[in-house]
Amino acid sequence: MLLSHSHPSIVTNHLKGYSCYHSYATEVDDVAHGGSAIIVNSSRPHRQLNLQTCLQAVAIRVTCHKTITVCSIYLPPSMVFKTSDFYDLLQQLPPPILIIGDFNSHGTLWGCTKLDCQGKMVEDSLTKHNLCFLNNSSSTYIHPAIGSSSASDLSICSPDIFLDMQWKSLDDLCGSDHYPISISYGSKETSFAFPS
């Protein structure tokens, strides 16, 4: 299974044998930006969830080691949203859940040197909904202009699947400014990847 948030129309159009689900961002000046997508092998039992949200998010229920909800999300740095928007999204995701995405947030819990407003929202959401971080403080993003790094791509899951997940940030940027993230799940080693 492959998850992506960056320009999903480029990624999702030509993969034979895979089902693609996406939430496109609003176009500004006819230029696509952001968005969120999930690409899953068509042979794996799954179904898309109909989300009612203003956030750029898409989710499926998929059978891996067991049936889980996988949600891909992109929170643009320029977007203003309320904490309740994220809470409302979480309420629509049947447990157990795995959320992967670019949250454009900073928090010391996941390896950043500061806590910003979106980071506080994420921390509060984890506490309120009893969720766990998979991140191990590794950098997931390199600023293309100045070369500074941060961990703005987060992987979050329900506690009952936390011990079955193995998370790592890969070394090769693959032409992006985000490091790909690989998550293996369960004894069957179902793999999730999050390229940007």
The rounded average pLDDT for each run of 10 residues, N- to C-terminus, in the chain (196 residues) is 48 72 65 74 92 93 90 85 88 95 86 86 88 84 69 89 87 72 72 55
Q: pTM for the complete prediction?
A: 0.84
Look up the CATH number of the domain holding residue 22.
3.60.10.10
pLDDT of residue 70: 94
pLDDT of residue 46: 94
- Number of domains, the chain: 1
Report yes or no: 97 and 71 within 8 Å, Cβ to Cβ: yes
Show the domain range for 18: 2-194
Report yes or no: 153 and 196 within 8 Å, Cβ to Cβ: yes
How does DSSP assign 40-105, residue by residue? EETTS-EEE-----SSEEEEEEEESSSEEEEEEEE--TT----HHHHHHHHHTSPSSEEEEEE---
Strands (E), 129-189: 132-133, 141-142, 149-150, 153-157, 165-169, 181-185
